[in-house]
Structure 1
Amino acid sequence: MTLRSSDSAGDPFRRTLRFVFSQWRRQPALALAIIACVVVLTLVELLIPLLAGRLIDVVADRLADRRTSLDAAIEIFIGLAGMGAAMVALRFGLFRGIVRFTLHMMKQVAEEAFWRVQRFSTDWHANNFAGSTVRKVSRGMWAFDQLNDTLMLALLPAVSVLVLATISFGLRWPVMGLVIGVGSSAYIVFASLMALRYVAPIAQLSNRWDTRLGGTLADAITCNPVVKAFGAEVREDLRLGRVLKRWQSRTRLTWNRAVLNGSVQQALLLTIRLSVTGGVIMLWWQGQATAGDVAYVLTTYGVINGYLHNIGDHVTNVQRAVNELEELVGFHDEPLGVEDRAGAVPLRVTEGRIAFEKVGFRYPGQVRPAYTDFSLGIAAGERVGLVGHSGSGKTTFVKLVQRLYDLDAGRVLIDGQDIAGVTQTSLRRQIAIVQQEPVLFHRSLAENIAYARPDASLAAIQEAAKLAHAHDFISRLPKGYDTLVGERGVKLSGGERQRVALARAFLADAPILILDEATSSLDSESEALIQQAMERLMRGRTTLVIAHRLSTVRQLDRILVFDDGRIVEQGDHDTLIARPGGLYRRLVERQMGGSSSLMVA
């Protein structure tokens, strides 16, 4: 029987099961041991009713010698006790094995999913809710627990019991074997089709809304400061309420279908039970079965019924677990976006020269290219400002230097090395970046500052903080450098977050420095102090400064003026401000209220 959730979902279902079995093959010895243990345990479970039937025959035989009957009964009792002990031991070993097997698998798939998510493209992360991603990974990881338990501890024993019982009955009473085999097989097929074709499709939709619910909650909670700033709590309540209403309707339909499915299965099981009971009574009446045989058949069917009773639930659980795994398995089908090439080598930076050679680049999903045949050279140690309107190409420039995207044409070189041929880790370790809106981990201030150099001493961390003028405010905190900063640094002010990010860049001590308006959140006094420190930091380093406030680029060696993916002007501040009608001059005049003379050094 081929398990399918629906015609449209069959391929994802099979792909997910192939993924699961590929994980099983990573622990082949343990998987085979678990399967063998289940089969033996099932065989023992079926032998117990057989011995119980023989015991009834022995004690019911009034013509036999009582002493002989007692000896036979004792032997059967010892056999039952031995089998009971064997079942306890086998069950203990089975569950110890499944615990080890499943936990190792859960750990492995979570690590691999996290590895891929960390390496997905910048666009992927921009287009996916962090909360939904976390839910997909955690839900998929726990789905392995349910799936392994269902397949190994429920479905495998059920199939084993059915096959062994059908063979056992069929060898002695062919008609009874036929009733058990055909009836049970028909029930399994029906229960599976109901679970997969009737319940599963709506369950998949319910799962999607469950994921969306998690994303909606995470989005609102993460952005709670914005919600509070605009007094939008009620608006977010209503937004969540709309999502919850759709989730509720889909989940209600899923549960109602499951209830109907269960009721139909109960009716089918009753039919099979009555057929077996009537059949064994007929065999007894015809003299083909003893009282012990009747007890054996009814007891054995009780075992079979126990497994069949939940077979539909087991198939549903498999489907549900597979549905919950589909999104995690999807991570393995998702291209990483930017990958290290085969044979990639570490980047070696000795000077810090940067060169763009005939670069062509277009963002995924966009028709218009960001760069066409773009070429530029930046000398080692040169301090360069990048200015221009929003969308002009200055942010794209620094993203390509970090190789956050692959090029459509041309090359980006650092010290003559094509960055597409070096490892991404080695490339980004040579670049320190301070973003306009710094992102901090919910970890201690010391850990955040030392993120680029986790082995840095506390003294080095404190020195970097002093250079960034962060040491004083950190020292005033009750726990100092051990203070947790909250999710994304929410416990700190904007200026404090910026100083921590600057301290991180100081400590990184990288040969290439990128500053994305790194003083934008500072007050005037702090900005002046930071500018002095940054002047020291930039010495001897190739520095790219994305400037929104043009006052920050006055002292740089060169200013590149971007417009529509091209450099339309370049030179130092004095040269550009003196150019009548120039774009840079117009930008300065707009910021200074029309008086460019204020900006002349």
Structure 2
Amino acid sequence: MVKHRRKRRGSAIGPVLVFMFRHWSRRKPLLALVTGAIAAATLAEIVVPLFAGRLVDALTRAGNDRALAASEAIETFALMAGLGLVVVGLRHIAWSAVIPLSLRIMSDMGVDAFHRVQRFSTDWHAGTFAGSTVRKITRAMAAVDMIDDVLLLALWPSCVVLVGTILLLGWQWPVLGLVMALGTIVYVALTILLATRYIAPAARLSNAVDTRLGGTLADALGCNAVVKAFGAEAREDSRFTSIVAKWIKRTRRTWVRHTASGTLQLALLWIVRTSLTAVALLLWWQGRASPGDVTYVLTTYFVVQGYLRDVGQHVNQFQRSVNDMEELVALHDEPLGLADKPDAAPMTISAAEIQFQHVTFRYGVHATPLYDDLSVTIRAGERVGLVGHSGSGKTTFVKLIQRLYDVTGGRVLIDGQDVADTTQSSLRQQIAIVPQEPILFHRSLAENIAYARPGASAAMIRHAAQLANAAEFIDRLPQGYATLVGERGVKLSGGERQRIAIARAFLADAPLLILDEATSSLDSESERLIQDAIGRLMVGRTALVIAHRLSTVRSLDRILVFDRGRIAEDGTHATLLGRVDGLYRRLFELQTDTLVATVSAAPRRELAETRSMTPLST
């Protein structure tokens, strides 16, 4: 894996160019207009020095016939002025056309990247900084504008002017054409080598730390509540300062290399200029060139020098843009976590009967499977509790139903349909989930409740909130359902967030319901309200309840007890409790003993705390 990544990064220009050509091919008319207009403008600019030479020759013949010289000079001047207008007009067309071209490509790239990232696996998202991913995408979108400007409006016309100038000079004076060709080749080769071998490695490292910088900022700001809880502001300041110091070090090295590269390129340009001027003077001395010809050569060089100097800057800018884009291009090389089969059909769930048929499943490259030949059926409309020690397999059970992972062997069926043969979106849209830690968008309460059904009316949203026992606290808010909940819902209490998640599940009206210990870590009043709402929510649905507190599964139709990836026990609360040596009974008694010990210890703790706070003088 490491070797593959290094190989890919070592040849970043190729993948980035392929990536850009793919996007340009979607906008062929605009691309043709930009490249055609700028090429025509450049060709017109090449001819201007030729007329400048003729103008000088006309003026030097003024002693013989001033009227004729004036006529030739005026005619030449008019042609030069006309060519100038043509250059300005064509360049304006090219510059105007590149704006919609760049904006549409930037839009396509952003949408495509977001589309892919949304569909990456759960493991990928768990192991990736969200802030870093955002930085990769936004930085690459900004780089598109630079690449379009550099390749289409700078390097492409530079190639046209260099080739055209070399051909014109070589046609009249082969030795001048040879000097210009050699100087151009050496300059371009040096520029490319400096950009790709000298600047690019440093730029890649500075980009990597820039990405890390963005990720660290997002991580610390997203967890600001934890930072405040532990008074760790100074510690986070120190952590961020150390990363900024590394960013400064690497960025300084990149900028120093850019400066050194520019100095070398400038020195080479002066060498080429001196050589051309010397050869042109030699030709004049030998009578093979007129003063106008020398003027033409020098004027041509000034035009070429401007392009060559810009080539150096543009190649450096292009390399920098490539470095900015390569991380986004790498995202497109990442495989999707789970892809729908080409012939995947939409799933329709009505009864919501679930079957695990000889299921084998292992995480990643783990040699030992979590499930080995697991078979179980959950009948339509059953309310089933999933209990067991942490890591026993109960959470994985519901993830396989959602097809967040594919099974290694066997099948998972819902109403007789294999989840692997259906589209993921149709499957998940028919499963309502109330997680242990509900996540809300930084949007209004109404938008969060309606997320399961975007077209829901205000009356439907309010009805769902009433069923979830959330309408009362929402009505007390100054802005009611229009209240913004903050990032991840931080403006709401845990119980309020949970009730919003339940309202969302009510509005989804899905035949299959998954509850992940929706009443854990709540106060008694919130728990009572949520239990009441959950009781209504489970009616008429197949419900799976992941339970850490066994008191929440007493009234369910059935309980599956997981132990190391197998279903160790299966039955009702009363049946399982009646097994003297049963695992469920041991878990229940352990929680009961813990609760009793906690309750009995509370008065002693309170007395000790009271004594510790009593002044010594008393």
Q: Shorter-chain-normalised TM-score: which range?
A: over 0.9
Q: Is the alpha carbon distance of 1:510 and 1:471 closer, same or farther for their aligned partners in structure 2, counting shifts above 3 Å? A: same
Does residue 1:569 correspond to 2:569, yes or no? Answer: yes
Deviation at 1:368, TM superposition (A): 2.6
Letter in structure 2 aligned against 1:460: M
Which residue pairs with 1:439 in the alignment?
Answer: 439
| Alignment partners' CA distance in 2, 1:591 and 1:518 | 18
Does residue 1:317 correspond to 2:317, yes or no? Answer: yes
Question: Alpha carbon RMSD of aligned pairs, Å?
Answer: 1.5
User: TM-score, length-normalised on structure 2?
Assistant: 0.93
Q: Is the 8 A contact 2:34 2:97 kept in 1?
A: yes
Moved more, 524-533 or 103-112: 524-533
Letter in structure 2 aligned against 1:178: L
| Alignment partners' CA distance in 1, 2:390 and 2:8 | 44
Deviation at 1:158, TM superposition (A): 1.2
| Alignment partners' CA distance in 2, 1:361 and 1:49 | 75
Which residue pairs with 1:599 in the alignment?
Answer: none
Deviation at 1:78, TM superposition (A): 1.9
User: TM-score, length-normalised on structure 1?
Assistant: 0.96
| Alignment partners' CA distance in 2, 1:498 and 1:82 | 73
Which residue pairs with 1:358 in the alignment?
Answer: 358
Q: Is the 8 A contact 2:387 2:548 kept in 1?
A: yes
Q: Is the alpha carbon distance of 1:429 and 1:7 closer, same or farther for their aligned partners in structure 2, counting shifts above 3 Å? A: closer
Q: Is the 8 A contact 1:170 1:177 kept in 2?
A: yes
Q: Is the 8 A contact 2:468 2:530 kept in 1?
A: yes
Moved more, 309-318 or 225-234: 309-318
Which residue pairs with 2:234 in the alignment?
Answer: 234
Please give the per-residue CA displacement for 1:114-169, whole angstroms capped at 9, x wherever unaligned.
11101111011001110011111111111111111111111111111110100111
* Ranges in structure 2 where 5+ consecutive residues have no aligned partner: 1-5, 597-618
| Alignment partners' CA distance in 1, 2:571 and 2:12 | 57
Letter in structure 1 aligned against 2:376: L
Which residue pairs with 2:217 in the alignment?
Answer: 217
Moved more, 571-580 or 518-527: 518-527
Q: How does 1:203-282 map to 2 (within 5 A)?
A: 203-282=203-282
Which residue pairs with 1:371 in the alignment?
Answer: 371
| Alignment partners' CA distance in 1, 2:464 and 2:177 | 81
| Alignment partners' CA distance in 1, 2:129 and 2:64 | 78
| Alignment partners' CA distance in 2, 1:44 and 1:594 | 89
Deviation at 1:449, TM superposition (A): 0.3
Q: Is the 8 A contact 1:155 1:314 kept in 2?
A: yes
| Alignment partners' CA distance in 2, 1:26 and 1:344 | 28
Please give the per-residue CA displacement for 1:563-584, whole angstroms capped at 9, x wherever unaligned.
1111111111111122212211
Does residue 1:47 correspond to 2:47, yes or no? Answer: yes
Moved more, 410-419 or 270-279: 270-279
Does residue 1:21 correspond to 2:21, yes or no? Answer: yes
Which residue pairs with 1:346 in the alignment?
Answer: 346
Which residue pairs with 2:179 in the alignment?
Answer: 179
| Alignment partners' CA distance in 2, 1:483 and 1:532 | 25
Q: Is the alpha carbon distance of 1:408 and 1:569 closer, same or farther for their aligned partners in structure 2, counting shifts above 3 Å? A: same
Q: Is the alpha carbon distance of 1:246 and 1:365 closer, same or farther for their aligned partners in structure 2, counting shifts above 3 Å? A: farther
| Alignment partners' CA distance in 2, 1:539 and 1:461 | 19
Does residue 1:486 correspond to 2:504, yes or no? Answer: no
Does residue 1:86 correspond to 2:86, yes or no? Answer: yes
Residue aligned with 1:592, SS: helix
Letter in structure 1 aligned against 2:306: G
Letter in structure 1 aligned against 2:216: T
Please give the per-residue CA displacement for 1:324-371, whole angstroms capped at 9, x wherever unaligned.
211111122111121111111111112110000011111124333221
Letter in structure 2 aligned against 1:185: I
Please give the per-residue CA displacement for 1:240-264, whole angstroms capped at 9, x wherever unaligned.
1222222222112111111111111
Q: How does 1:296-335 map to 2 (within 5 A)?
A: 296-335=296-335
| Alignment partners' CA distance in 1, 2:529 and 2:151 | 65
Which residue pairs with 1:408 in the alignment?
Answer: 408
Moved more, 62-71 or 348-357: 62-71
Which residue pairs with 1:547 in the alignment?
Answer: 547
Letter in structure 2 aligned against 1:68: L
Which residue pairs with 2:503 in the alignment?
Answer: 503
Q: How does 1:450-465 map to 2 (within 5 A)?
A: 450-465=450-465
Q: Is the 8 A contact 2:345 2:421 kept in 1?
A: yes
Which residue pairs with 1:105 in the alignment?
Answer: 105
Deviation at 1:394, TM superposition (A): 0.5
Moved more, 195-204 or 447-456: 195-204
Q: Is the 8 A contact 1:589 1:595 kept in 2?
A: no
Letter in structure 2 aligned against 1:328: L
Identity of aligned residues (%): 58
Q: Is the 8 A contact 2:41 2:88 kept in 1?
A: no
Q: Is the 8 A contact 1:30 1:101 kept in 2?
A: yes
| Alignment partners' CA distance in 2, 1:131 and 1:420 | 32
Residue aligned with 1:351, SS: coil
Q: Is the alpha carbon distance of 1:295 and 1:214 closer, same or farther for their aligned partners in structure 2, counting shifts above 3 Å? A: same
Please give the per-residue CA displacement for 1:217-255, whole angstroms capped at 9, x wherever unaligned.
111111111111111111111111222222222112111
| Alignment partners' CA distance in 1, 2:331 and 2:367 | 26
Deviation at 1:473, TM superposition (A): 1.4
Runs of 4+ with >4 A deviation: none
| Alignment partners' CA distance in 2, 1:39 and 1:10 | 32
| Alignment partners' CA distance in 2, 1:527 and 1:493 | 13
Q: Is the 8 A contact 1:204 1:323 kept in 2?
A: yes
Letter in structure 2 aligned against 1:439: I
Which residue pairs with 1:423 in the alignment?
Answer: 423
Residue aligned with 1:451, SS: helix
| Alignment partners' CA distance in 1, 2:238 and 2:202 | 25
Deviation at 1:8, TM superposition (A): 6.9
| Alignment partners' CA distance in 1, 2:272 and 2:594 | 91
Please give the per-residue CA displacement for 1:503-544, whole angstroms capped at 9, x wherever unaligned.
101111100000111122432123223222221211110000
